[in-house]
């Protein structure tokens, strides 16, 4: 009996000790990342957590408008966000982003100066650091779509009605329609923007819905046969499903190109860890793995020599020169953005 009581006492003491130790253990810092989906190579986030003894919590959005509205609406608690370059200045003007402290992110030295000079909007990286750049085109199922032509006019095909999606994104959709009409996708001419909105309203009659996330699973499952899509995401779907009937094409009328960046929101209370995260993503080997996974170009010059021959030959990542000439960078529109918002509201309201 005595032995049993002693044993119980020992177990009780041990449990108490364990509880005390757990309660006293320092809590791991948590980094909150708000980002487009499917944007980190497998294992990278785990490696960052181990390296910095922290936890990373990831939340996804599917458009710059959602990100902007969330931060503008006062959402705090995010430490790293991924705005496209063309919304960075707007977010800075509204006090939503912090300045980048270059001294604390040594891997900024790896960023390709040619890319910064030619493509980037925040060229001096005052508030944003380039992450990935890519192009928007059309993905289709070659086993379902007959007589495909690389044209945005595919959205006029009545035989594909209900089987197509357009991105739920004003700059992407109106941009595609502007290019179809022979205009710049950064037009500030109200007549041109309105003509583009009329065209998207025509396309809207044929699409299942505006969609910026489920188009990936939808094209894989054959729910959708033709979708407006970001190239790298489609190559990821092809890889994941081993389905060579999914094809990505860049329309002959021209197509939007974009650059997503990393930035630290004004409300971040974990700036030091956010800086470490940005620095980690621009380590040469990490950036190379990310390019190989994402099929987008991370403008990290130190990563280029580490890329496989296969990725260097992939036309989604390195768009061939003749096609590249048809791409147009999505630019910041300043006060003229309101014209797009108004036109987009009309598109959304139309039957």
| Secondary structure letter of residue 187 according to DSSP | -
Output the smallest distance, CB 136 to ligand SPD, in A.
Answer: 7
CB-nearer residue toward ligand SPD: 145 or 185: 185
**Surface-to-core class of residue 213, CB atoms within 10 Å of its CB (0-12 exposed, 13-18 middle, 19+ buried):** middle
The total of other beta-carbon atoms located within 10 Å of residue 312's CB is: 11
> What are the residues binding ligand SPD (CB under 6 A)?
36-39, 84, 169, 171-172, 230, 233, 258, 260
Residue with tokens 């054959």: 222
Closest separation in Å from C-beta 23 to ligand SPD: 40
Q: In terms of CB distance, is 169 or 283 closer to ligand SPD? A: 169
Cβ burial of 336 (10 Å; 0-12, 13-18, 19+) is middle
Neighbours of 234 (CB within 10 A): 25
Helix axes 44-51, 271-281, angle to 10 degrees: 130
Nearer to ligand SPD, 173 or 249 (CB): 173
Residues contacting 140, CB < 8 A, separation 6+: 148, 154, 219, 225, 226, 227, 246, 247, 249
**Nearest distance in Å: CB 147, ligand SPD:** 29
Alpha-carbon gap, residue 189 to 30, rounded angstroms: 46
First to last CA, the chain: 82
- CB 141, CB 246: distance < 8 Å: yes
CB 299 within 8 A of CB 116: yes
Q: How far is the CB of 36 from ligand SPD (least distance, A)?
A: 4
* Nearest alpha-carbon partner for 112 in 213, 311, 259: 259
Tell me the closest approach of the beta carbon of residue 263 to ligand SPD, in angstroms.
14
Determine which helix (DSSP H) or strand (DSSP E) holds 22, and give its type and residue range. helix 2-24
Would you say 62 or 144 has its CB closer to ligand SPD?
A: 62
**Are residues 160 and 225 in contact, defined by beta-carbon separation less than 8 angstroms?**
yes
CB of 309 to ligand SPD, least distance (A): 24
Q: Is the separation of the CB atoms in 300 and 125 below 8 Å?
A: no
Separation of alpha carbons 121 and 231, rounded Å: 21
169: left (phi over 0), alpha (psi -120 to 50) or beta: beta
């Amino acid at each position: 009996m005595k032995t049993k009581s002693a044993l119980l006492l020992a177990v009780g003491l041990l449990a108490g000790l364990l509880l005390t130790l757990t309660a006293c253990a320092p809590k791991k810092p948590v980094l909150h990342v708000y980002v487009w989906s499917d944007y980190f190579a497998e294992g990278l986030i785990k490696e960052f957590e181990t390296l910095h003894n922290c936890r990373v919590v990831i939340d996804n959005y599917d458009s710059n408008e959602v990100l902007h509205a969330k931060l503008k609406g006062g959402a705090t608690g995010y430490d790293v966000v991924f705005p496209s370059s063309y919304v960075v200045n707007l977010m800075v003007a509204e006090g939503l982003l912090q300045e980048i402290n270059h001294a604390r992110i040594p891997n900024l030295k790896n960023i390709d100066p040619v890319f910064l000079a030619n493509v980037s909007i925040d060229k001096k990286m005052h508030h944003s650091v380039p992450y990935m750049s890519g192009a928007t085109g059309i993905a289709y199922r070659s086993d379902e779509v007959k007589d495909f032509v690389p044209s945005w006019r595919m959205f006029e095909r009545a035989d594909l009605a209900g089987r197509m999606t357009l991105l739920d994104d004003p700059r992407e959709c109106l941009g595609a329609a502007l290019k179809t009409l022979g205009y710049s996708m950064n037009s500030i001419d109200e007549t041109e923007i309105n003509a583009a909105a009329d065209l998207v309203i025509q396309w809207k009659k044929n699409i299942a819905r505006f969609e910026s996330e489920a188009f990936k699973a939808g094209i894989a499952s054959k729910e959708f046969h033709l979708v407006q899509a970001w190239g790298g995401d489609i190559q990821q779907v092809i890889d994941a499903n081993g389905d060579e009937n999914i094809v990505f094409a860049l329309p002959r009328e021209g197509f939007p190109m974009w650059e997503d960046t990393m930035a630290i929101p004004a409300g971040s209370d974990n700036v030091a860890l956010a800086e470490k995260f940005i620095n980690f993503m621009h380590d040469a080997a990490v950036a190379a793995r990310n390019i190989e996974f994402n099929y987008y170009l991370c403008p990290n010059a130190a990563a280029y020599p580490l890329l496989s021959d296969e990725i260097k030959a992939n036309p989604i990542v390195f768009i061939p020169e003749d096609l590249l000439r048809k791409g147009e960078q999505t630019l910041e529109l300043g006060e003229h953005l309101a014209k797009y918002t108004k036109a987009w509201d009309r598109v959304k309201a139309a039957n």
